[in-house]
Amino acid sequence: MRTRAARTVAALTIVATVLTACAKPHVDPRTRLWHGGQLTIGTGPTNGVFNQLGGGYADIVNRHMSGFEAVAVPTNGAKENLQRLVRGDVDIALTYSDVAGEAVAGTGEFAGTPIGVKALARMFTAYTHLLVRKDAGIDTLADLKGRRVGTGPAGSGTDIVATRILTAAGIDPGKQVVKQSMSLSQMTTAFQAGRLDAFFYTAGLPTVGLTAMMAQMPGAFRLLPTDAVFPALQKAYPGAYTVETITKEAYGLPDVKTVAVPALLVADADVPDDVAEQLTRLLFEHQDELAAVHAEGRNIRREFASQTDPVQLHPGARRYYGV
């Protein structure tokens, strides 16, 4: 009886151990000391999609990744996140493939200073919103000449896309528009007050900051299509952009075709492979939790997530995807 009881206790101990191990993804003990188990995630403006998803992802890490704690920090977005990665201020970040491509190649905004960054996943599609006041008489991109146009924070992902769209439309952003470098909240405030005629913002659907503004000024604005400049963008930046549709479901406005860019989750190249693999795995094993934070969380597709060109996959992420 003692032997049987001892075996029963041993069996229960094994089961408990297994269940405990299954509760959170296993990380090699040798990598648990990396950064003392502290992870910092660069997100975006507080009323934007990057910030919401980044905060949700940090919560998932804290709940499900043994030995690690994550904190999400608000930033100005895509470019700043990459700059913070270089400085070591963040370990993981959300960004856009166009600016990330320049960062790894050392071109454009990162001319002469390529950075070591690897991708964990292609996340979702970010849409270029171009909002114009209905009373401003702006019907085409060409009508933006001479107007007060918000282009997001200086050097942000929105600023880069807006500058490229204006240039592709034959407009000199530095001379032919009154360019206003502002945060999303500053742009929506200025737009409502009549101090901006139009503004750009690149993000997932829907963006809370835009939804709130639209509710306060119904019928006073519209989304302007930007797809007309896609051929010029494709020629200048092959493969960087696509044309997508902001559908009525997003904001209750008529469908509009616009320039779009993939959003990526990237990490410092020094993140250990075992850690990177688990960070990638969490996206899909707990995707329902991310989707509860923002609708774009549902749009992360495993079959496309490894398609992160022009940024190479982190070896740990590659191991997870089996590619």
DSSP letters of 23-81?
HS----GGGTTGGGGEEEEE---TTSHHHHHHHHHHHHHHHHSTT-EEEEE--S-HHHH
Residues 175, 229 within the same domain: yes
Distance of CA 282 to the CA centre of its chain: 17
CB 235 within 8 A of CB 221: no
Examine residue 17 and state whether it is found in any structural domain, yes or no: no
Chain position carrying tokens 């749009």: 299
pLDDT (0 to 100) of residue 14? 39
Total structural domains within the chain: 2
Q: Which position has the token pair 């006041």?
A: 133
- pLDDT at position 268 is 94
Q: Which among 117, 39, 124, 35 is positioned nearest to 79, based on CA atoms?
A: 117
Q: What are phi and psi of 126, to 5 degrees?
A: -100, 130
Of 243, 260, 277, the residue at which a domain comes to its end is 260
Looking only at the bridges linking them, the beta strands covering 256-268 and 92-96 are: antiparallel
pLDDT (average), residues 129-142: 97
* Residue 74 shares a structural domain with residue 194: no
**In the predicted model, is pLDDT for residue 34 greater than 80?**
no
Same domain, 118 and 176: no
* Domain match, 135 and 253 both: yes
Q: State what percent of residues in the chain have pLDDT above 90.
A: 83
Q: Does some domain include residue 14?
A: no
Question: Is 9 part of any domain?
Answer: no
**CATH code of 81's domain:** 3.40.190.10
45 located within any domain:
yes
241 and 154 within one domain: yes
* Three-state DSSP state, 204: coil
Per-residue model confidence (pLDDT) at position 228: 98
User: Pick from 260, 289, 306: which residue ends a domain?
Assistant: 260
- Residue 85 structural domain: 31-125+263-321
Task: Supply the DSSP symbol for 177.
Answer: S
241 and 295 in a common domain: no
Across the chain, mean pLDDT equals: 90
Please indicate, yes or no, whether residues 273 and 237 belong to a single structural domain of this protein.
no
Identity of the amino acid at 202: T
Which whole number is the average pLDDT over 262-275?
Answer: 96
> Does residue 175 sit within a domain?
yes
Q: Is the dihedral of CA 198, 230, 234, 82 positive or negative?
A: positive
* pLDDT average, residue stretch 198-219: 95
In a domain, 61, yes or no: yes
Lowest mean pLDDT among 27-41, 77-91, 183-197: 27-41
**Radius of gyration, alpha carbons of the chain:** 22
- Residue 177: Cβ within 10 Å count: 20
Instruction: Supply 170's token pair.
Output: 């034959």
Answer with the residue of higher pLDDT: 156 or 59: 59
Write the pLDDT tens digit of every residue in 226-251: 999 999 999 999 889 999 999 999 99
Same domain for 245 and 162: yes
Model pLDDT, residue 154: 84
Residue 128 confidence (pLDDT) above 50: yes
For residues 62-90, average pLDDT:
95
Token digits for 223? 């989304």
Cis before 254 (ω within 30): no
Of the residues 224, 244, 260, which one is the last residue of a structural domain?
260
Asked if pLDDT for residue 15 goes beyond 50, the answer is no
Q: Same domain for 115 and 138?
A: no
